Amino acid sequence: MPDPLAPSSNRLRWEHAALADLDRACTGLLEALTAAHDQARALAERPHWGLGEADPALHSAAALAELFREKASDTPGGVGGALAAHTAEVTEFRDLIAAVCAALPNIDTGSARRLDGPLS
């Protein structure tokens, strides 16, 4: 039997369970990204870091606390911004999986043959 995944294969193989596994993995990743984003947001909003930043003589402590806030923020260079970008990518991928799952059952044999030759 020829390898159904080989480039020369003319078979269309749909494994709904694999697509469902991908969807579940995306959901789990989105939950983890949301939790991490919430933690980053809490850090960015933290009023006091305990670094001595309230002491006017410790300029570097105040600067360090501000740097931590900036890096945890939703700005493009911050952790929150990066997590938001990852969340958008995973959401787009999950939406694509859903579209594939919805469309594949509606493709008839004739359409598949026109796309990739005869089905076996």
Q: Would 89 be classed as within a structural domain?
A: yes
Q: Would 116 be classed as within a structural domain?
A: no
Q: Would 111 be classed as within a structural domain?
A: no
Q: Would 72 be classed as within a structural domain?
A: yes
Separation CA 93–CA 23 (nearest Å): 9
Q: Would 112 be classed as within a structural domain?
A: no
Domain that holds residue 82: 17-106
Instruction: Provide the number of structural domains found in the chain.
Output: 1
Per-residue pLDDT of the chain (120 residues; tens, 9 = 90+): 556 556 656 666 778 889 999 999 999 999 999 999 999 999 889 888 888 888 889 889 989 989 988 898 888 889 988 999 999 999 999 999 999 888 877 766 556 666 665 555
How confident is the model at residue 16, as a pLDDT?
82
Q: Look at residues 83, 46, 90 and name the one whose alpha carbon lies nearest to residue 65.
A: 46
